[in-house]
Amino acid sequence: MKKILLCICRFIMFPCILLAQEGKPVGENPGYETEKDMPLFYCRMKQNLTYPMAWGNSVIKDFRVWRKEARKTLLDCMQPAPPSVPFDMQTTAEEQRRGYRAAKIVFSVSGYSRVPAYLLIPDGKGPFPAVLLLHDHGAHFSIGKEKVVRPFGVDEETMEDANRWTEKCYDGRFVGDYLASKGYVVLAVDALFWGERGRKEGVRYESQQALAANLLQMGMSWGALIAWDDIRSAEFLASLSIVDKDKVGAMGFSMGAHRAWMVSAATDVVKAAAAVCWMNTTDSLMTLTNNQNKGGSAYAMIIPGIRNRMDYPHVASIACPKPMLFINGLKDKLFPVEGGRKAFATMREVWESREAGQMLVTKFYDLPHFCSREVQEEVLEFFDKHIKQIHKR
């Protein structure tokens, strides 16, 4: 009898729930106010996101002034920045590879962290063009930089881990080694919580939420800290004598793609970037069915307060008129195609408004969430055109 009554009650309340999901006020509380960890009023919240700092929405009509103020808004939301100290790079190991040298280094990315990294240096006389290569999230924390650069001097377990991940996400190719073999200096650094910057007690998925909460309680967000480390890593890369500081790019897949366009928006040390499988709109991502609403992994990419000022494509547009390549997958279950199209269209309007439409490349591949060899080859072609030749423009 109780089950029958419960079903009747739910049937009667169902229209109220639908109204709540559509962003309309409900006349009566249905007995709960969240579903799939989303508030029932999430549609109304999205309607309130008017993005007043976006180019075209802002009261600022001079693009150069807007770009400066929009970047300031972004960096203000990322405050406080970690203390800056000299890089003080040290090389701990080296290995000669075919056409380039792999070095294991450590440097101070901030006053908080002295980080291990892989630095790949082409054979020959520099200075060379360079790429800051940013690893993905993948809910896989045992390795970071090893996802994109073939490790050396590691135990068998780490090597097997890296090989498996490369097969799963990068079509069996270490992207960093591929770029280095084509003449680019490559820097790959672990983000906080991955690889050698991971958890002392061992990998635990739920701990990323605790880490994010603990950082917030001490006045800093995890997403912002990752972004600051990426900015400082780009500055470190540009400071090297073997690097042409006017030819520094950034590239990443998945969370690495988010990091690539973020660092391009945040600093002009990065001259061009390629982002594979991370661009969309908040409206398309924040639904009851999208992976983004699960929350835990998203902390690594959340900048507090920025969504009240700009959406993802608006932030990425701070990079305009730099050369930028965005690739999404038509079969990518994480990033809705329609949201990707809307984001690309938003950015297209910005670049074309600056008569720089040819500098923005947006594409969909008939792929899932995956960085195929074909995609990697397009990234290389893009960098060859827009980094190696950047001084000629």
Candidate from 23-37, 265-279, 286-300, 364-378 with smallest mean pLDDT: 23-37
Q: How far apart are CA 47 and CA 19, in angstroms?
A: 14
Specify the pTM. 0.91
Q: Which domains does the chain have, with CATH numbers?
A: 1-48 (no CATH), 90-392 (3.40.50.1820)
What are the residues facing 327 on neighbouring strands?
A: 276, 363
Q: How far apart are CA 319 and CA 265, in angstroms?
A: 4
Q: How far apart are CA 173 and CA 290, in angstroms?
A: 29
pLDDT band at 291 (very low <50, low <70, confident <90, very high): confident
Could you read off the pLDDT of 225-280 as tens digits, one per residue? 999 999 999 999 999 999 999 999 999 999 999 999 999 999 999 999 999 999 99
Q: How far apart are CA 77 and CA 302, in angstroms?
A: 10
For residue 383, give every residue at least 6 positions away whose Cβ sits within 8 Å of its Cβ, in sequence order, or none.
129, 131, 179, 184, 249, 251, 272, 274
Instruction: Scan for tokens 């990294």, then name that residue.
Output: 117
Q: Give yes or no for residue 20 having a pLDDT over 90.
A: no
DSSP 31: S
Could you read off the pLDDT of 148-207 as tens digits, one per residue? 999 999 999 999 999 999 999 999 999 999 999 999 999 999 999 999 999 999 999 999
Cβ atoms of residues 135 and 148 within 8 Å: yes
